[in-house]
Amino acid sequence: MWLIGRQPILDRDERITAYELLFRAPGDDRANFVDPVAATATVILGTLSGFGIEQVLGQHQGFVNVDEKLLFDDALELLPRASVVLELLESILPTEAVVRRCEQLREREWKLALDDHQYAAEYEPLYPLVDVVKIDLTVTPLATIGPVLDRLRRHPLRLLAEKVETRQEFQDCYDLGFDLFQGYYFARPVTMRHSRVDEGGATLLKLLRLLMEDADISEIEAAFRGSPGLTYNLLMLVNSVGFGLPRRIGSVRQAIAILGREQMRRWVQLALFGAGGGSGLDNPLLDAAAVRATFMEELVRRHPVLSRVRDAPDEAFMVGILSLLDTLYGVSMDDLVQRLHLSENVAAALLARQGPFGGLLHLVEQMERLEVDEPLEQVRELQMTREQVLEAQLKAFAWRTAVG
């Protein structure tokens, strides 16, 4: 079973600007391949045929690892050059042949990046040809990086800090003038700007509870009255061309009636991430939560038992989208569960990874980390096939692309 993972690449505003496409296979949890060409070929084939480039990347660019053999291979033509950045592995030496090949690729409008790079004078012929240089913080410590950056800034390229693991590392790299950032720092509680659920988040939590309880429309409408910004966003959503309305909407009640409670609930769940101080739909936590929630929902639709339970897909989506709110707001999951009066099954999944949805959440979390061997066992226990799991992942990527 192979998996394609997407690790977000963020700009200085902490918005997603690209993804690195990663590959994992059973028995390998760090992408260390005896044959990097085979690994990258799998990414290419999986992206184009198994997933679809638009489903995986949406409007963003994708960084794909390339070694010297693949650099000279016609297989690169399978990739759409407008959407892909060729990430040259550190094993590639700047020989005359490599420099000529990169010049040819640049002439044909390919974008190039140097992966895990350490500055060396011998690479000077390559620097004018690349768009991005990725610097691994575990290899090049921040304390010694100043002179390296000065040399690289002589060229018209962007600097990407890779393996940024803490908020402090992000801030240090930001202050040093890095343009792009990649790592897991955004998924840790220390990265969040809010230590509590603020007023906007509290209103959304109240709305979510009302929708879950099937409250009267007047109660839902009243919840909007104290939040002009939320009301504006709701009306903008319903008036958007995506709904194809013959006339514009002038009241919250009309908007609620047109959206319907299910779509309203989905919108509120996603809006919670915007209220958390992120950068809207380009907030990396929203990206993770949207994929996770839809992945769980699609897994339930393929589950031999849960697929026959009417409310199971909605509950699975709820579990997925709420599972990152504690990180976003810096509050305990117990607090969130109490605020929302969640069902036993949803609460058990969020608090202890137990119950019918707990195992699914655990599976999805492992797959996000591109751990493969243990999820394979879980997939078998769920009486599902690898193909069903990958199909569900594709649906999740596609839905995230649609909302973004």
Do 208 and 71 lie in a common domain?
no
Do 248 and 181 lie in a common domain?
no
The confidence score (pLDDT) of residue 191 equals: 32
Do 229 and 158 lie in a common domain?
no
Do 182 and 210 lie in a common domain?
no
Do 183 and 219 lie in a common domain?
no
- Does residue 193 belong to any structural domain of this protein? no
Between CA 124 and CA 115 the distance in angstroms is: 15
Structure tokens given for 359: 């195992």
Do 252 and 283 lie in a common domain?
yes
Kindly report the backbone phi and psi dihedral angles of residue 7, in degrees, each rounded to the nearest multiple of 5, phi listed first.
-105, 120
Do 378 and 295 lie in a common domain?
yes
End-to-end Cα separation, the chain, in angstroms: 29
Handedness of CA 55, 51, 20, 377 (dihedral sign): positive
Residue where one domain finishes, among candidates 188, 220, 243: 188
CB environment 359-383: b (16+ within 10 A), e (fewer): ebbbbbebbbebebeebeebbeebe
The confidence score (pLDDT) of residue 120 equals: 92
Q: What is the pLDDT along the chain (404 residues), one digit of tens a residue?
A: 456 677 889 999 988 899 888 766 554 444 444 455 555 565 665 555 555 677 778 788 999 888 898 899 877 877 888 889 999 999 999 999 999 999 999 999 999 999 999 899 999 999 999 999 999 998 888 888 888 899 999 999 999 999 998 889 999 999 999 999 998 777 654 333 333 444 466 778 788 888 888 888 888 887 776 565 676 567 666 655 344 555 555 567 777 888 788 878 877 877 776 555 444 556 787 778 778 888 999 999 999 999 999 888 888 887 887 888 777 667 788 887 887 777 889 899 999 999 989 989 988 888 887 665 666 677 777 788 878 887 888 788 877 666 55
Do 265 and 216 lie in a common domain?
yes
The confidence score (pLDDT) of residue 284 equals: 80
The confidence score (pLDDT) of residue 199 equals: 46
- Name which of 259, 291, 293, 289 is nearest 273 in CA terms: 289
Residue where one domain finishes, among candidates 129, 164, 188: 188
Residue pair 161/135 in contact (Cβ under 8 Å)? The answer is yes
Between CA 337 and CA 215 the distance in angstroms is: 19
CATH of the domain at 143: 3.20.20.450
Q: In total, how many domains does the chain have?
A: 2
Do 157 and 267 lie in a common domain?
no
- Name which of 17, 331, 28 is nearest 195 in CA terms: 331
Half-sphere exposure of residue 119: CA atoms within 13 angstroms, side-chain side:
15
Do 107 and 218 lie in a common domain?
no
Do 45 and 115 lie in a common domain?
yes
The confidence score (pLDDT) of residue 305 equals: 92
Query: pTM above the 0.85 mark?
Result: no
- Does residue 194 belong to any structural domain of this protein? no
Domain encompassing residue 271: 199-403
Do 35 and 184 lie in a common domain?
yes
